[in-house]
Structure 1
Amino acid sequence: MTTLIESEDHKSLRAAVSAFAQAHPHTLDAEDSKRLWQDAAKLGYIGVNLPEAYGGGGAGITELSLVLEELGAAGNPLLMMIVSPAICGTVIARFGTEEQKREWLPPLADGTRLMAFGITEPDAGSNSHRITTTARRDAATGDWILTGRKVFVSGVDIADATLIVGRTEDARTGKLKPCLFIVPRDAEGFERRPIDMELNAVERQFELTLDDVRLPADALVGDEDAGLLQLFAGLNPERVMTAAFGIGMGRYALSRALDYARERTVWKTPIGAHQAIAHPLAQAHIDLELARLMMQKAAHLYDAGDDVGAGEAANMAKYAAGEACVKAVDQAVHTLGGNGLTREYGLARLITASRVARIAPVSREMILNYVSHQTLGLPKSY
C-alpha cells in the first residue's frame, strides 16, 4: 500500500519497516514489546523524527507516522511512539533548552529512555482551559511546585519521566496559562495508580497525583509565556500519530479478513467471491487509503512549519483514521463470523482497541466542533 506522494526514500523506509515488523510476530508480552522497541530504536526507527545533532534521524513526523503505521499493519502498534518521540521529543526539540535537549533527545532516539505525557484530568477532558494542575514558584529557591491530578496517562510505569501540562499565573493578567514540565518518575509527591481497563494492550493507563511536587527551575520546557503555541506543537503530532496508529490497526485487521475470505469456502467458491463479503472489505480499504492521504497531508504541513494548517489537517486525519479503523475491524470480525471472536485469529481484542483511535486523544465530536467553527465559520455552542 503506497501512495503517489511518497518519495522513493519513503517507499524504501516503508518496505524496510514492514520487513522488520513482519519478523516480529504480534505479542502482548511486555518483555517482547520492550525488545521490539529496542530493536526498532537500534535501526533508527523510534527517533527518526528527532534532530541528527542529538542522535535522531533528522526527518519528521511524516517518517515517524510511516514507521508506526507499518508496525501496526504487522500487528504491533507501539502506542508509546505517539507519546515519547512524537509529543515529548518534538516539544523538547522545538522549545527545550540546550541542556534539556542533550539530556533527553539522545536516549529518546536510541530507545534507552521513555517519556510519558500527562494532560487529561478527571474534570478536564477535551476542555484544556479547565486544567487545574497548577505550578507556582517558590520565591526563595526559584523551584516550581506542582499540584494536581491527571488521568489516562499511558506508560508511566515504564517511562523515566512524564511531561506534565500544568498552568501558571500570568503576572500581567492574573489568568492561568498552560506550561510544560518534566517530572521524573521518582519525584517526591509524584504518585501513580493503574486504571483497570478492559483493553488488551501492553501499555497500561494510570491516574497521577502531584502533591506539592518540587521541581528545579530548569524543569520548565520552553518559554513560560508561550502557552498554547508550545502545547499544540505536541498535540498536532499526537493527532497525526494517532491516525497512523488507527490506519495500521485497520490494515492489520483487513489483511486477516482478506486471507480468510480468499481461503474459506462454504459452497463452491471462496466467500470473498460474494459481493456481500467483498464490497464491505473494498470499502474498508478505500476508507483507510483516504485517511492515509489526509494523514500524510497533515504530517507534511507540520514538517513544513505550517502549524495552523497542520492543526486542521491533523484533526481531520485523526477523525478519518478513527472511523476507518473501527469499520475495518468490525468488518473483519464479521467476515470471519464465529472465528472472528476466537483467540486464534486475534481480531476480537481489536474491537475494543480500535475505539482508542476514535476516542483519544480527542473525541470525534470535538473534532467535528473544531471543523464546524474553525473551518466552516459556524458559531460555537459552548
Structure 2
Amino acid sequence: MSFTESEERQALRSAVADFGARYGHEYFNAKARAGEKTTELWTEAGKLGYLGVAVPEEFGGGGGGIGDLAAVCEELAAVGCPMLLMVVSPAICATVIARFGTEAQKQQWLPGFADGTLKMAFAITEPDAGSNSHRLSTSIRREGEEWVLNGRKYYISGVDEVDAVLVVARHVDDKGQRLLPSLMIVPTDAPGFEFQPIEMDIVSPEKQFTLFFDEVRLPADALVGSPDAGIGQLFAGLNPERIMAASFSTGLARFAMAKATDYARTRKVWDTPIGAHQGLAHPLAHCAVQIELARLMTQKAAALYDSGQDKAAGEAANMAKYAAAEAAKDTVDQAIQVHGGNGLATEYGLGALLGATRVGRIAPVSREMILNFVSQHTLKLPRSY
C-alpha cells in the first residue's frame, strides 16, 4: 500500500491546477454573481480530457478511476473554480452508465461525458423523503414498450444546463404496489417534464431546481441496468458522489487556506506579520491538519472504490465526505477571521464560501446521517431510526 500518488496522478493535478488558474476565482465569482454559467471553463476542461479521465478509453475517456476525477475536482476548487456539476455528471451519471448501461447506452452517452459536450443531472431527493431513500414516491410503470414516469424531485443541481437527468424512481406493479428503485434517463425536453428554480442565497453558477414528472413517457431503453437491482446499483453511483464531494470540500479548504496564510504572512500590525501570533497561527495549523487528514481518507476511499471493494469504499467515502466538509467549514471560518473585516469583502473571495462550505455538511448526505452510518456499520451499535 502506497501513501504517495502515482507520477501520472501528480502530473494530472499539476496540469489541472495550471489550467484552472488561468480562469481563477475572479472569473468564477463574476460568472456566478451575474447569473451566468462557467461554460468556457467546462468546455475547455472537456477538450483537454479532464472531465473524462474516468471514462473508459474505448469511449474516448482517459480510462482512469474515480481517484483521478476527484483529483481534477479538488485542484479546480483549490484555485477558486469549484464545479459542482463535476460531482454529478461525470462522477455519478457516467459511472452508473459505464458500470450498468447497455452497450447502446454506453455508445450514446459516454463519449459526450468524455469530452464534456454532454451534461447529465442526477435526481434522487424528494420533498417528503429527505434522507430516507426507502420512501421515494416518484414512480415508473410499464405500458407496452414504454415506461411512464410520475412524481417530483427537489434540490436537483444544474437542470437548466444539462441534456438529461438520471432519475431514481420506484416501479409500480399492476396492483399499484411500489417495488425496488431503478434508474431512468430522462431527456430535459421530454413532454410532461417541467422544472422550476429554487431561490438560493448561495453564490454559485449551478442552480437548484424542483422537478415535476407528469405522465412522462420514455422508451424501453431509458432504463439503466436491472429493473430489480435496487439500492445496490444505486450506491454504485452514490459512493463516487461522496468521494467527489469530499474532494470538492478539500479543494475549497485549500483555497481558503492559501488566502489566509498569504494574508497572515504579509499583513503587519505594529511591524509584525499577524501570522507570527499563535492566536492566528495555531488555528490555521489545526485546519491544515484537518485538511490533510480529509485528503488522505478521500484517497483511501477512491482507491477502495477503484479496486472494486464497494462495501469498504462506502464506509471510507462517508468518512471522507464528513471529514472534508468539517475541514472546509473550519478553514473558511478561520480564513475570514484572519482577514478581519476584509474576510467579508468581495475582493478577497472568502465570504461567498460560507454558504458553499455549509452545504457540504448537508448534501449529498448530511453529517448526521453519516454519523448514523458509522455508528451502525462501523461500530455495530443499534440503529436509532
Distance 2:306 2:263 in 1: 39
Aligned 8 A contact 2:139 2:178 in 1:
no
Conserved 8 A contact 1:72-1:249: yes
Kept after mapping to 1: 8 A contact 2:170/2:178: no
Are the equivalent residues in 1 in contact too, given 2:55–2:94 (CA < 8 A)?
A: yes
Specify which of 327, 330, 341 is matched with residue 327 of structure 1.
330
Contact 2:165 / 2:187 at 8 angstroms: preserved in 1? yes
Give the RMSD, CA atoms, in angstroms: 1.5
Deviation at 1:173, TM superposition (A): 12
Residues 33-80 of structure 1 show CA distances to partners (whole Å, capped at 9, x for unaligned) of: 111011111111001001001111100100000000000000001100
Q: Determine whether 1:208 maps to 2:208.
A: no
Alpha-carbon spacing, 1:175–1:152, altered in 2? closer, same or farther (3 Å): closer
- Using the alignment, how far apart are the partners of 2:250 and 2:267 within structure 1? 25
Match for residue 188 of structure 1?
Answer: 191
- Equivalent in 156, 163, 166 of residue 163 of structure 1: 166
Unpaired runs of 5+ in structure 2? none
TM-score normalised by the chain length of structure 1? 0.97
Structure 1 residue ranges without an equivalent (≥5): none
How many Å apart are 1:5 and its aligned residue? 2.2
Q: Map residues 1-382 of structure 1 onto 2, 5 A cutoff.
A: 4-26=3-25, 27-28=28-29, 29=31, 33-138=38-143, 141-169=144-172, 176-382=179-385
* Deviation, structure 1 residue 228: 1.2
1:174 is displaced (CA, Å) by: 5.4
Instruction: Give the Cα separation in 2 of the matches to 1:170 and 1:22.
Output: 53
Q: How far is the alpha carbon of 1:13 from its aligned partner?
A: 1.0
> In 1, Cα distance between the equivalents of 2:76 and 2:174?
46
How many residue pairs are counted as aligned between the two chains? 378
> Distance in 2 between the 1:360 and 1:267 partners?
43
TM-score using structure 2 length? 0.96
Report deviation, 1:89: 0.2
**Aligned letter for 2:85?**
M
Q: 1:32 to 1:373 in 2, by over 3 A?
A: closer
**Displacement of 1:231:** 0.3
Contact 1:170-1:177 at 8 Å conserved across structures: no
Percent of matched pairs sharing the same residue: 61
Instruction: Classify the secondary structure of the residue corresponding to 1:358.
Output: coil
* Shift in Å, 1:157: 0.3
Q: Matched residues in 1 for 2:272 and 2:359: separation?
A: 36
Letter in structure 2 aligned against 1:262? R
Q: Write the distance in 1 (CA, Å) between the matches of 2:233 and 2:52.
A: 20
Q: Secondary structure at the match of 1:359?
A: coil
Cα deviation 1:277-317 (Å, max 9, x = unaligned):
11111111110000000000000000000110000000000
Q: Secondary structure at the match of 1:262?
A: helix
Post-superposition shift, 1:4?
3.9
Q: 1:292 to 1:171 in 2, by over 3 A?
A: farther
Change in CA separation of 1:187 and 1:348 when aligned onto 2, cut-off 3 Å: same
SS in 1 for 2:24: coil
